[in-house]
Structure formats: C-alpha cells, structure tokens
C-alpha cells in the first residue's frame, strides 16, 4: 500500500468536503441544530460531510472500516479503519467562528499510519503519513523549539459537559496562567494539535475527548517531533479520553504540572486508612 498516494487522495477528498462545509455556512439556521447531549450539538452539515467522507474513503481503500463521530458507518475493517470527525468545532461553526476542521486518521492493524486535519475556511491542510515528515500545505512543519515552560503558549479545551474533574482542571489553568505566556481555548482539539505540530502552540492538554477528536492531530504532532501521552504518562491518548502533547524540551515540566493536579487525589488515596 502506497501511503503517499493515499494521502494525496485524502487531501483531495478533504478539500471537496471542505468546500461543501463552507458553502453551507450561509444556509445554516437554528432549526438545523440538534442537541445530542449537554452542550453537544450536531447539524445536517456534520452528518452530510461524514457521509461524503465515508463514501470517498471507502473508494480509496475498499473494505476499510470506520470509527466516525456521527456513526454514518459503523463497519469495522479487518485491517484498515478510518477514524473521522467531519466537523471538529461544531459550536464554532454554528456561531460563525472560522475555527473548525475535519479530521481523518487511518489505522493499519490498530497503528495510525496517516493523519490529516483540514480547516475549510483558512484552507490550511496539516498532514503526514508513516515514514514521512509532517506538512502544512506542502511545506514541512515541526514543533516549536521552546525550551522553558515560562516561554510557552498553552492550548486546552474547557470542560463543556463532564465536570467530574473540574477542580484539578481549574487548578491546572491557574498554574499555567502564572507559569507560561498564556493559555488559549479555541474549541477544536484537532486544530489545537495541528497548531502544536507547526509550532504555534507549545503544548496542549484536555480530558473527556473521543478518538476522532485527537487521532489525526496526535499523529501529526508525533511526525513533527512532538511528545504525547495521557495523564498517566502512558500511550493511551487516542482511546483514553485524555491527552498531553508538547514540544520535547518542555515535556517533563509540563507533564509534571498536569500529573500533580489530576493524579493528586489518586496518590493521596493510597494513604487513607481502610
């Protein structure tokens, strides 16, 4: 299988679907917005975009399966599976904010071998595949060379429905506001990770995530020279619902702050009397 050829086809498909997403902006109204859960919304644009992606990706690799946010297809492939989010940042999209993206990752026997994040508004396409470097619109990208946490710009996602870890999250925000150049919340994990990959952000962390939110972006960060883990410093960041992504130089310092807050209670529980 020639991943370079497949990547080119996926780029072309993403641009076609992205054009549809952009065209629908002026047609979208409140009657098209459906509530899936607490602060969790979907529109016909999400659903139609996913359908177009499923149809296109099935042609690129016949018999491939899908892990897709809107469950347009729940077919599982024996070897190849696509992890897709047709519109990461739906709330931004319905409010007219130009910060959303479609995210596509390809797995080969559970190993991610290709990732793409495309913003239809800015026309920025971030991508990579196994054995290749990471790129934005054909130009190589790398994570930043920031050496110290105090010089870094951090991205995160605010909890919008699962508040079970709100206390340690708010404490982590306080720490990073004091110890870095600033914290940003743009509302699209896929793009946040792509921005880490190209050096715009030095680190990103969030919990309560889904595989389609992070699979492509995390792979691009990896290919761009970044480091990734979950809040326990393991590699379960695709399906583990939490992720840390940073430039190598600040990884230890950044992770220690995350771990110190989110796992503090876990460590203290070991010393409680039965």
Write the CATH number of the domain with boundaries 149-269.
3.40.190.80
Domain ranges of the chain: 3-141, 149-269
Cα gap 230→245, rounded to integer Å: 9
Centroid of chain to Cα 79: 23
pLDDT at 1: 76
H/E element, 55:
helix 44-60
Q: Give the burial class of 99: count Cβ atoms within 10 A of its Cβ; 0-12 exposed, 13-18 middle, 19 or more buried.
A: middle
Q: Give the pair of three-digit tokens for residue 21.
A: 């997403």
Per-residue pLDDT of the chain (274 residues; tens, 9 = 90+): 799 999 999 999 999 999 999 998 887 766 666 665 554 567 888 899 999 999 999 999 999 999 998 887 888 999 999 999 999 999 999 889 999 999 999 999 999 999 999 999 999 999 999 999 999 999 999 999 999 999 999 999 987 777 888 999 999 999 999 999 999 999 999 999 999 999 999 999 999 999 999 999 999 999 999 999 999 999 999 999 999 999 999 999 999 999 999 985 443 333 344 3
Give the model confidence (pLDDT) of 218-237 as tens digits: 999 999 999 999 999 999 99
What does the angle CA 78 – CA 82 – CA 85 come to, to the nearest 5 degrees? 150
Q: What is the pLDDT of residue 267?
A: 39
End-to-end CA distance of the chain: 56
> In terms of residues, how long is the chain?
274
Could you list the beta-strand ranges (E) of the chain.
34-37, 40-42, 65-68, 80-88, 101-108, 111-119, 124-129, 134-136, 139-141, 153-156, 182-184, 203-207, 227-229, 242-246
Quote the pLDDT of residue 37. Answer: 57
pLDDT of 159 = 79
The CATH number of the domain covering residues in 3-141: 3.30.540.10
pLDDT at 39: 47
Query: Which residues does 221 contact at the CB level (< 8 Å), separation at least 6?
Result: 134, 143, 193, 196, 197, 228, 245
The reply to whether domains 3-141 and 149-269 share a CATH topology is no
pLDDT in tens, 152-178: 999 999 877 778 889 999 999 999 999
The whole-number pLDDT of residue 141 equals 98
In degrees rounded to 5, what are phi and psi of residue 6? -60, -40
């Amino acid at each position: 299988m020639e991943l370079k050829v497949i990547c080119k086809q996926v780029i072309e498909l993403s641009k076609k679907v992205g054009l549809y997403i952009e065209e629908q902006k002026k047609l979208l109204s409140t009657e098209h917005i459906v509530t899936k859960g607490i602060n969790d919304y979907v529109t016909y644009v999400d659903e139609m975009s996913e359908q177009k992606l499923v149809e296109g990706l099935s042609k690129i690799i016949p018999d491939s399966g899908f892990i897709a946010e809107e469950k347009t297809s729940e077919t599982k492939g024996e070897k190849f599976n696509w992890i897709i989010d047709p519109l990461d940042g739906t709330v931004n999209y319905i409010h007219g904010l130009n910060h959303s993206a479609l995210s596509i990752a390809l797995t080969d026997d559970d190993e991610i071998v290709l990732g793409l994040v495309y913003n239809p508004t800015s026309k920025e396409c971030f991508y990579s595949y196994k054995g290749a470097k990471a790129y934005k619109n054909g130009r190589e990208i790398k994570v930043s060379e920031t050496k110290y946490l105090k010089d870094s710009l951090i991205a995160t996602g605010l909890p919008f429905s699962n508040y079970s870890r709100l206390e340690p999250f708010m404490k982590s925000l306080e720490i990073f506001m004091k110890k870095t150049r600033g914290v940003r919340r743009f509302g699209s994990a896929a793009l946040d990770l792509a921005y880490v990959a190209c050096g715009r952000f030095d680190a990103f962390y969030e919990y309560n995530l889904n595989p389609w939110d992070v699979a492509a972006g995390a792979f691009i960060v990896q290919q761009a020279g970044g480091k990734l883990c979950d809040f326990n410093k393991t590699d379960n960041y695709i399906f583990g619902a939490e992720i840390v992504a940073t430039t190598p130089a600040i990884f230890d310092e950044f992770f220690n702050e995350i771990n110190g807050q989110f796992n503090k209670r876990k460590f203290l529980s070991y010393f409680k009397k039965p």
